[in-house]
């Protein structure tokens, strides 16, 4: 049970990292387009 909770929190952290990275990439792309 403990391990499952650990895996879930790890997965949510990874998901958040991916989401923030893609948002950051979108921001950079838009910045480049506007120049």
pLDDT, residue 24, reads: 95
Global pTM? 0.60
d(CA 9, CA 12): 5
**Secondary structure, 3-state, the chain:** CHHHHHHHHHHHHHHHHHHHHHHHHHHHHHHHHHC
* Per-position pLDDT tens, the chain of length 35: 678 888 899 999 999 999 999 999 999 999 999 98
């Amino acid at each position: 049970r403990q391990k499952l909770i650990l895996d879930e929190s790890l997965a949510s952290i990874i998901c958040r990292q991916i989401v923030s990275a893609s948002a950051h990439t979108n921001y950079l792309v838009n910045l480049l387009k506007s120049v």
